[in-house]
Structure 1
Amino acid sequence: MVSVISELNDRSREIFRHIVDAYVETGEPIGSRTLSRRLGTTLSPATIRNVMADLEEVGLLFAPHTSAGRVPTEAGLRLFVDGLLEIGAISAQERQALDAQCAVRGRSLEQVLEEASSALSGLSGCAGLVMAPKREGALRQIEFIALGPNRALVVMVSTDGQVENRVLDLPLGLPPSALTTASNYLNARLTGQTLAETRAVVTAEMTAQRADLDSLTSRLVEQGLAVWAESEADRHDGYLIVRGQAHLLEDVTALGDLERIRGLFQALEAREGALRLLEAANAAEGVQIYIGAENPLFAQAGCSVVLAPYTNARDQIIGAIGVIGPTRLNYARIIPMVDYTAKLIGRILR
Structure 2
Amino acid sequence: MSIERPILPEAPVGLAQLDERSRDIFRRIVDSYLTTGEPLGSRNVSRLLSVSLSPASVRNVMADLEALGLIYAPHTSAGRLPTQFGLRFFVDAMLEIGDLRPEDRSAIERQVRATSASRTVEDVLTDASALLSGLSRGAGVVVATKQDPAIKHMEFVPLEPQRALAVLVGEDGSVENRIVPLPQGLPASALTEAANFLNARMRGRTLGEARSAVEEAVASAKQELDELSADVVAAGLASWAGASADHPRQLIVRGQANLLEDLKALEDLERIRLLLDDLEAKQDVIELLGRAETADGVRIFIGSENKLFSLSGSSMIAAPFRDGDQKIVGVLGVIGPTRLNYARIVPMVDYTAKVVGRLLKQG
Q: SS state of the match for residue 297, structure 1?
A: helix
Distance 1:245 1:80 in 2: 27
Aligned to 2:27: 17
2:208–2:245 Cα contact (<8 Å) kept: no
Tell me how far 1:317 sits from its aligned partner: 1.6
User: What is the SS of the residue equivalent to 1:349?
Assistant: helix
Give the whole-Å Cα distance in 2 for the aligned partners of 1:122 and 1:114: 12
Count of equivalent residues: 329
What is the SS of the residue equivalent to 2:174? strand
SS at match of 1:65: coil
Q: Is the 8 A contact 2:142 2:331 kept in 1?
A: yes
| Code of the aligned partner of 1:22 | S
Find out whether 1:185 has 2:204 as its counterpart. Answer: no
Q: Which amino acid aligns with 1:118?
A: A
User: Residue deviations 1:14-37, cap 9 Å, x none?
Assistant: 111111111111100000101111
Shift in CA distance, 301/348, structure 1 to aligned 2, threshold 3 Å: same
Distance 2:129 2:266 in 1: 21
Match of 1:273? 284
Q: Counterpart of 2:214?
A: 202
Partners of 2:153 and 2:260 in 1: CA distance: 44
DSSP 3-state at the match of 2:248: coil
Q: Residue in 1 aligned with 2:103? A: 93
In structure 2, what is the Cα distance between the partners aligned to 1:313 and 1:67? 57
Indicate yes or no: 2:129 matched with 1:117: yes
Q: What amino acid does structure 2 have at the position aligned with 1:292?
A: G
| Alignment partner of 1:45 is 2:60 | no
The equivalent residue for 1:324 is 335
Structure 2: gaps spanning 5 or more residues: 1-7, 155-166, 178-187, 190-194
Aligned-pair CA distance for 1:226:
8.7
Shift of 1:292: 0.6
Q: CA RMSD of the aligned region, Å?
A: 3.8
Letter of the 1:69 partner, please give it.
Answer: G
Q: Which moved more, 1:24-33 or 1:63-72?
A: 63-72
Query: In the TM superposition, what whole-angstrom CA distance separates every residue of 1:29-60 from its partner, at most 9, and x where no partner exists?
Result: 00010111112421111111110110000000
Share of identical aligned residues, percent?
49
Q: Provide the residue aligned with 2:4 in structure 1.
A: none
Any conservation in 2 of the 1:126–1:248 contact (CA below 8 Å)? yes
Displacement, 1:134?
A: 3.4
TM-score (norm 2): 0.77
Residue 62 of structure 1: aligned partner: 72
Query: Separation in 1 of the partners of 2:356 and 2:93?
Result: 29
User: Structure 1 residues 253, 233: CA separation in 2 closer, same or farther (over 3 Å shift)?
Assistant: farther
User: Per-residue displacement from partner, 1:264-320 (whole Å, max 9, x unpaired)?
Assistant: 323322242133123311232210001111121112101011011111222222211
Question: CA 1:219–1:107 in 2, change beyond 3 Å: closer, same or farther?
Answer: farther
* Distance in 2 of aligned mates of 1:255 and 1:312: 44
The residue that corresponds to 1:290 in the other structure is 301
Q: Show the counterpart of 1:313.
A: 324
State the AA in 1 paired with 2:291.
Answer: A
User: How far apart are residue 4 of structure 1 and its match?
Assistant: 4.5
Unaligned residue ranges in structure 1 (runs of 5+)? 146-151, 157-162, 174-178
